[in-house]
């Protein structure tokens, strides 16, 4: 969960690092017109998206997958990569992350040089559905390593330093 940080003048700037995020839908209030962000929104039409629902959606699609890449339909929660890139910043996204039971898992083999792009087309034909698509490629490993390198160590206190060690 990410807390809202104050700008140097005391007010949040709205930058992504300052936005509240959570994987738990209950951490987000159900929007109302009393909230400035939702004041002019047609909440009567949007309300179904703020509560859990039983998926009944029909989604059709096609894809072009060159050699060196694979696509399969999976339960996203079974993947280690699921939710590792983004944490939901709103109630509908958190609901989708919590309830998604089908999604595409797209992988690109390490060292693969794709001759053409991967093209995925999906069309919601009817109903509502929770779905997530997870894309894994070799550059993700680099991004994870960089994130781990710059994250503060929760076991350490104070400012990290090599003073007196080198």
Domain encompassing residue 122: 16-150
Number of domains in the chain: 1
Question: Cα separations (Å) of 46 from 36, 50, 111, 145?
Answer: 16, 7, 44, 39
What integer pLDDT is reported at residue 28 of this predicted model? 92
Chain-centroid distance, C-alpha 83: 5
What integer pLDDT is reported at residue 165 of this predicted model? 64
What integer pLDDT is reported at residue 26 of this predicted model? 94
Q: What CA–CA distance (Å, rounded) separates 100 from 90?
A: 16
- Is the pTM of the predicted complex or chain greater than 0.85? no
Are the beta carbons of 88 and 21 closer than 8 angstroms? yes
What integer pLDDT is reported at residue 140 of this predicted model? 55
- Strand (E) or helix (H) holding 117: none
Residue 11 counted as domain residue: no
Residue 85 counted as domain residue: yes
Residue 3 counted as domain residue: no
Residue 1 counted as domain residue: no
Chain-centroid distance, C-alpha 51: 19
Residue 31 counted as domain residue: yes
Return the closest-CA partner of residue 58 out of 120, 133, 122, 135: 122
Return the closest-CA partner of residue 52 out of 96, 1, 101: 96
Contact partners, residue 60, CB within 8 Å, separation at least 6: 122, 123, 125
What integer pLDDT is reported at residue 164 of this predicted model? 66
Residue length, the chain?
A: 166
Contact partners, residue 32, CB within 8 Å, separation at least 6: 38, 43
Residue 128 counted as domain residue: yes
Residue 161 counted as domain residue: no
Residue 24 counted as domain residue: yes
Strand partners, 64: 119
Return the closest-CA partner of residue 52 out of 106, 109, 110, 130: 130
* Residues with pLDDT less than 50, the chain: 1-7
What integer pLDDT is reported at residue 4 of this predicted model? 46
Strand partners, 63: 120
**6 DSSP assignment:** P
């Amino acid at each position: 969960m990410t807390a809202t940080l104050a700008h140097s003048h005391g007010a949040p700037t709205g930058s992504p690092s300052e936005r509240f995020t959570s994987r738990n839908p209950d951490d987000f209030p159900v929007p109302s017109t009393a909230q400035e962000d939702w004041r002019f929104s047609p909440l009567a039409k949007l309300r179904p998206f703020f509560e859990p629902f039983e998926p009944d959606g029909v989604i059709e699609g096609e894809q072009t997958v060159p050699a060196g890449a694979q696509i399969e339909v999976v339960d996203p929660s079974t993947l280690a990569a699921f939710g590792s890139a983004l944490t939901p910043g709103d109630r509908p996204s958190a609901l989708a992350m919590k309830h998604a039971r089908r999604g595409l898992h797209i992988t690109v083999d390490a060292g693969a040089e794709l001759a053409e792009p991967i093209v995925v087309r999906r069309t919601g034909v009817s109903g509502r559905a929770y779905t997530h698509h997870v894309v894994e490629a070799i550059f993700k490993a680099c991004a994870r390593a960089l994130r781990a390198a710059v994250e503060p160590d929760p076991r350490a206190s104070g400012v990290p330093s090599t003073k007196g060690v080198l």
